[in-house]
Structure 1
Amino acid sequence: MHRILVRSGIALGGAALAAVGALATAGPANAAWSDCPAGSLCAYLGTNGSGDPGTVSGDNNNLLQYNKFNNAESLYNHGNSCNVRIFSGLNKTGSSYVLDRGYTNPTLAGTVYWHNVASNDWCV
């Protein structure tokens, strides 16, 4: 009987260590919209603002040079006072839409901006 209890204890102890090990290696929680700095347009590699934001401020003619805009799946306009126009083409060309200040676009899927936020223009 004693051997059975010892073996059970070893098995339970091993399971507990495996569970603790899994918790210890878990990654950090995803970034939130609130991680976008004030005054910035933020692009995320995941939908709903998941992942660390890529940030820009001011007008930009080539956002595709930045990985997070070149592969953007969601956006947040955390501008201080302006709406921002997003373009699918470089140098403010192609399709465009206005992302109002304080608003998000939780998914760019199914749009020309999916993995292609090419340029932007503030205060439109």
Structure 2
Amino acid sequence: MNMTRKLAAVAGGVALTGGLLVGTAGSAGASPVTPQAAADCPSGYFCVWSGQNYTGHRQQVAGKNADLTKYSVFLSFKSWYNHGASCNFKWYSGKNYSGSSGIIPKGYKKSDSVSHYMKSNTWSC
């Protein structure tokens, strides 16, 4: 599947909006490999899981991140949840906010059998 189609699948059916959340520096963390649920994603974070149905290795980010490639799960994930406090999550196919992009609305979560990836992010309010 080409990159544009993969990224379109991440944001499937989601409208684009403008604006960015600026201020706090990006941060990321990982949890151990255990069965989980979308509800395990902390408030204020965007979380991805390596497996379907919010299973496998989880990683999460808050703030802007110019390079998500240092966090392995962002290069191949099958479940995601935007548990952002008040904003939509904006992903990019390239590092440093480049390439294709899309918006995942606050509260949106999805799990499927296709592997997705993203390489940088901001927040859109």
Tell me which interval the TM-score lies in, with the shorter structure as reference length.
0.5 to 0.7
The separation in 2 between residues aligned to 1:88 and 1:102, in whole angstroms, is 21
The answer for the alignment partner of 2:108 in structure 1 is: 103
Instruction: Determine the structure 1 residue equivalent to 2:118.
Output: 117
Q: Aligned partners of 1:63, 1:86: CA distance in 2, in Å?
A: 10
Which residue type is aligned with residue 35 of structure 1? Answer: D
Q: Give the one of 27, 32, 36 matched to 1:31.
A: 36
> Cα RMSD between the aligned structures?
1.9
Q: 1:10-21 maps to which residues of 2 (within 5 A)?
A: none
Select 2:64's aligned residue among 36, 43, 59. 59
Distance 1:71 1:117 in 2: 9
1:45–1:72: 8 Å Cα contact kept in structure 2? yes
Question: Which one has the bigger helix percentage?
Answer: 1
Counterpart in the other structure of 1:85:
90
Q: TM-score, length-normalised on structure 2?
A: 0.66
Identity of aligned residues (%): 38
For the residues of structure 1 that align with 2:59 and 2:107, how far apart are their CA atoms? Answer: 16
Task: Tell me if structure 2 keeps the 8 A contact 1:43–1:73.
Answer: yes
Name which of 75, 79, 95 aligns with 2:80.
75
- Secondary structure at the aligned position of 1:106 is classed as strand
Q: How many Å apart are 1:29 and its aligned residue? A: 6.0
How far apart are residue 45 of structure 1 and its match?
0.3
Greater share of strand: 2
User: CA 1:86 to 1:106, structure 2 compared with 1: closer, same or farther past 3 Å?
Assistant: same
Q: CA deviation at 1:108?
A: 7.3
> Is the radius of gyration larger for structure 1 or structure 2?
1
**Aligned-partner Cα distance in 1 for 2:81–2:109:** 4
Structure 1 residue ranges (4+ consecutive) displaced by more than 4 angstroms after TM superposition: none
Question: Cα 1:108–1:57, aligned 2, differ >3 Å: closer, same or farther?
Answer: farther
- Taking structure 1 as the reference length, the TM-score comes to 0.67
Residue ranges of structure 1 left out of the alignment (5+ in a row): 1-27
Secondary structure of the 1:38 match is coil
